Amino acid sequence: MRIEVKDLSYVYSAGLPYETKALDGINFVAEEGDFIAIVGSTGSGKTTLVEHLNGLLKPTTGQVLADGVDINSKDPEARKLRRQIGIVFQYPEYQLFEESVIKDVMFGPKNQGFSEAECKERAVHAMNLVGIDPEKYGEVSPFALSGGQKRRVAIAGVLAMNPKVLILDEPTAGLDPKGRRDILEMITRIKDEQNLTIFLVSHNMDDVVEFASRVIVLKRGTIRLMGTPRDVFHNLEEVIAAGLDLPQGPSFSQYLLSRGVKLKRTLTFDETVDEIVRVFKKE
Amino acid sequence: MALKDITLGQYYPVDSKIHELDARTKILAVFAYLVSLFLIKSFTGFGVAALFLFICVKMSKVPFSFVTRGFKPILMILILTIIINVLSGTGEPILTWWIIKITKEGIYRAGFMAIRLILLVFGSSVLTLTTKPISLTDGLEKIFSPLSVIGIPAHELAMMMSIALRFIPTLMEETDKIMKAQSSRGADFENGTLKEKAKALLPLLVPLFVAAFRIAGDLAMAMEARCYNGGKGRTRMNEMHYRKGDAVAAVVIVIYLALIILSRNFTLF
C-alpha cells in the first residue's frame, strides 16, 4: 500500500496557553514495499507522526492518503483502509490480556468480524510468521511467556489482522542484542513475504542503516533530512544537529579521517571494516 | 479520547496570601467552614458564608471561571437534590398534579440544600486549588500524627495518599496507551449496547491491572533500595512552619464562626 502524507500538522491542546505544535508541515510518500525508518531525538514527534498513519490521531491540518484515499474521510473505503494499517506500539507486550496466547492473537481478526474458524486460521498463520509455535504455545497464558516471546505474540496480534502497512514503534526497546536482531530480521522476512510497507521508529542507528531503505529524520516536528541511509548519514553535521547518534561505521571512519587516515566514507559496519583493510593493505 | 483533560488535584499555581498559608491551617479552616455550613439555619447565614468564600477566592487570585469549573461534575447531583427536596416537602401545597405535590416549604428547603451543596463544593475546592497535593498530604499527616499514640499510622496513611495521587497521571497515561493499542486492533470502546461496552473494557482493564501491579512492584523496590522503612525517625526536607499569616487566618476563622453562630439567632428573612 502506498502512503502519502501531505502538509500534515498537529497541535496539542489547541487554544490553551500550553499549546504545542507537535508536527509542522510534514510531507512524504512511502511506496509499497518501502522500509522507512523514522528517527529523531525524544520529543521530536515520531510517535505523534506514526499515530496519524492509522487514524488514531486526526491531523490539525493536512491529510494522510492510503492508496490515494484520505484515511480520515467519512468514506466507508477509508475505514477499510485504516484497518489495513497495523501499528505495534512500544512495549506491545503490555497490551496482552487474554487467557491464552491464541485467543489474544485472535482478538484483532475477531474485531474485524471474521468467523471463529477463520480467526483461528489467521492467528495460527501469524504465530508461525513470528516464530511462536502455535501447537506448543497456543494454549499457554501470555503472561507465562518470556519478555521476547510476549513481544512476538503482541506483534502476531497485529499481523493476524493482515495489514498491508506495518508500523513499529521501537519494537526492539529493552531487548538484548540477539533479541533485537531476531526481531528485525523477522520483520524484514515478513515484509518480503507479505509485500508490506514498513515504518520503523528507532533510536538505534545501526539497525536503521542495516535494515531501512529510506530514513526520515525529525526534529521538533519537522523533517530535517530524508533519503536513503547513505544520503542521510553522509550529512554527518545535520544528523548530529538533529540529536542523533552516528552508526558505528561512519562514526569510526569519521574518527580515522580526523586522524589523517585517507579512506572513503562508509555506511555499514562491514563496509567500514573492508575499507580499513583496503587502506592499510595499500600502505 | 480526552483523558488528558482530566485534572485531579486541580492546583492553580499563583502567588497569593492564601497559597502562602500553611497546609494545616487551610485544612483546619476548610473543615471549620464545612462544619459552619451545617450550623447555618437561615439564608442570612448563607449570605455571610458566601461573602466569606468570595473574599477568600478574591484573595487567592484564582480566576472565578477556574473555581466554577469544579462545579460541572456535581450538577447532576445538585439537580437531583433539588427535585427530591421540592417533591418531598410537607405543608400546604401550592401546586398539586397527579401524585406530585409542591409546597412552599419544599421549595424553600430545596433552595437551602442547593446553596449548602454549592458552598460545600466551592469551599473545598478553594483548598485544593491553592494547595499542592503533596503539601495537602503532608498537612494531613501532621494533623493526624498525634493519633499515632493510639495506633493510627498517620505517616503510612499519608504516604499511601501521596503515592495514590502521584500515580493518577501515570495510570491515565497507561490507560491512554492501552486504549490506543487495542483500538488499533479493532477494539471499539464507544459504540454498542451496555453489555458490549462492558465486555469491551476487558482488553483495557486486564493490561491496566497488570501494569498497576508492575508499577507498584517497581516502586516498592525503589523505595526499599533507598532504605525506606516507614515513618519512624524520618525527617523531612521542608519542615512545615506556621507563620504570621496563619495566626491572622486563625483569628479570621474564629470571627467568621462567631458570625455564623450569631446569625442563627438573628434572622433577617
Contact A95 B182 (CB under 8 A): yes
Contact A51 B187 (CB under 8 A): no
pLDDT in tens, A83-122: 899 999 988 888 899 999 999 999 999 988 899 999 999 9
Cell numbers found for residue B61: 487570585
Q: Which positions in chain A touch B173 (Cβ < 8 Å)?
A: none
Burial class (CB in 10 A: 0-12, 13-18, 19+), B269: exposed
Cell numbers found for residue B118: 454549592
Sheet of A222-227, strands arranged across = A85-88, A165-169, A197-201, A35-39, A214-219, A222-227
Domain spans, chain B: 12-146+244-263, 154-225
pLDDT at residue B4 greater than cutoff 50: no
Per DSSP, what are the bridge partners of residue A223? A218
- Give how far B178 is from chain A: nearest CA, Å: 6
Cα–Cα distances in angstroms (integers) from residue A55 to residues A81, B181, B183, in the given order:
10, 12, 10
pLDDT at residue A128 greater than cutoff 70: yes
Which of B185, B190, B191, B209 should one mutate to test binding to chain A, selecting the residue with the greatest count of A CBs within 10 A?
Answer: B185
- Compare CB distances from A97 to B183, B184, B203 and report the shortest one's residue: B203
Q: Does B175 touch chain A (CB under 8 A)?
A: no
User: Coil, strand or helix: which one is A146?
Assistant: coil
* Residue-level pLDDT at B266: 66
Sheet of A61-66, strands arranged across = A20-30, A3-12, A61-66, A69-70
Contact B202 A97 (CB under 8 A): yes
pLDDT in tens, B192-201: 788 888 888 8
Q: Which helix (H) or strand (E) holds A3?
A: strand A3-12
Chain B's closest residue to A80, CA to CA, is B186
**Cα atoms in the 13 Å half-sphere on the side-chain side of A80:** 6
Domains of chain A: 3-245 (3.40.50.300), 247-283 (no CATH)
Closest CA to A92 of A42, A52, A142: A142
The number of angstroms, rounded, from the C-alpha of B80 to the middle of its chain's C-alpha atoms is: 20
Chain A and chain B share a number of CB contacts under 8 A equal to 50
* Residue-level pLDDT at A233: 87
Contact B203 A157 (CB under 8 A): no
- Compare CB distances from B180 to A89, A157, A158 and report the shortest one's residue: A89
Per DSSP, what are the bridge partners of residue A227? A215
- Give how far B175 is from chain A: nearest CA, Å: 10
Contact A51 B180 (CB under 8 A): yes
Cα(B127)–Cα(B23) distance, rounded to whole angstroms? 9
Q: Which positions in chain B touch A13 (Cβ < 8 Å)?
A: 4
Cα(A165)–Cα(B152) distance, rounded to whole angstroms? 58
- Compare CB distances from B211 to A86, A94, A143 and report the shortest one's residue: A94
Contact B206 A157 (CB under 8 A): no
Contact B185 A97 (CB under 8 A): no
Cα(A240)–Cα(A39) distance, rounded to whole angstroms? 12
Cα(A63)–Cα(B260) distance, rounded to whole angstroms? 62
Q: Angle, to 10 degrees, between the axis of helix A116-130 and the axis of helix A101-111?
A: 120
pLDDT at residue B1 greater than cutoff 50: no
Contact B186 A51 (CB under 8 A): no
pLDDT at residue A12 greater than cutoff 60: yes
Per DSSP, what are the bridge partners of residue A218? A223
Contact A94 B203 (CB under 8 A): no
> Residues B171, B154, B214, CA angle at the centre, nearest 5°?
25
pLDDT in tens, A197-219: 999 999 889 889 989 999 999 99
- Give how far A13 is from chain B: nearest CA, Å: 9
* Residue-level pLDDT at A18: 67
Per DSSP, what are the bridge partners of residue A63? A6
* Residue-level pLDDT at A15: 66
pLDDT band, residue B150 (cuts 50/70/90): confident
Section B160-189 average pLDDT: 86
Phi, psi (rounded to 5 degrees) for B129: -75, -30
B67-70 long-range CB contacts below 8 Å, 24 or more apart?
A: B67/B122, B67/B125, B67/B126, B67/B129, B68/B122, B69/B10, B70/B10, B70/B121, B70/B122, B70/B125
pLDDT in tens, A165-187: 999 999 988 888 888 888 999 99
Q: Does B199 touch chain A (CB under 8 A)?
A: no
Phi-psi group of B199: left, alpha or beta (phi > 0 → left; psi -120 to 50 → alpha; rest → beta): alpha
- Give how far A41 is from chain B: nearest CA, Å: 20
- Compare CB distances from A87 to B184, B210, B211 and report the shortest one's residue: B184
Which of A79, A97, A103 should one mutate to test binding to chain B, selecting the residue with the greatest count of B CBs within 10 A?
Answer: A97
Residues in chain A whose Cβ is within 8 Å of chain B: 13, 51, 54, 56, 83, 86-87, 89, 92, 94-97, 107-108, 110-112, 143, 157-158, 161
Q: Does B185 touch chain A (CB under 8 A)?
A: yes
* DSSP type of residue B148: G
Cell numbers found for residue A208: 536503521
Cell numbers found for residue A164: 498491508
Chain A's closest residue to B200, CA to CA, is A111
Closest CA to A157 of B186, B179, B207: B186
Phi, psi (rounded to 5 degrees) for A215: -130, 135
Contact A95 B187 (CB under 8 A): no
> Residues B32, B35, B37, CA angle at the centre, nearest 5°?
115
Q: Which positions in chain B touch A56 (Cβ < 8 Å)?
A: 180, 183-184
User: Coil, strand or helix: which one is A8?
Assistant: strand
Burial class (CB in 10 A: 0-12, 13-18, 19+), A220: middle
Cα–Cα distances in angstroms (integers) from residue A235 to residues A231, A246, A267, B164, in the given order:
7, 10, 11, 48
pLDDT in tens, B38-68: 988 888 888 888 998 998 888 888 888 878 7
User: Strand runs (DSSP E) across A55-110, as ranges?
Assistant: 61-66, 69-70, 85-88
Chain B's closest residue to A167, CA to CA, is B184
- Give how far A18 is from chain B: nearest CA, Å: 12
Contacts of A220 (CB under 8 A, 6+ apart): A24, A43, A44, A45
Touching A: B residues 203-262, CB under 8 Å: 203, 206-207, 210-211
Closest CA to B47 of B117, B122, B119, B126: B119
Cα(B10)–Cα(B126) distance, rounded to whole angstroms? 10
Closest CA to A122 of A137, A107, A141: A107
pTM: 0.73
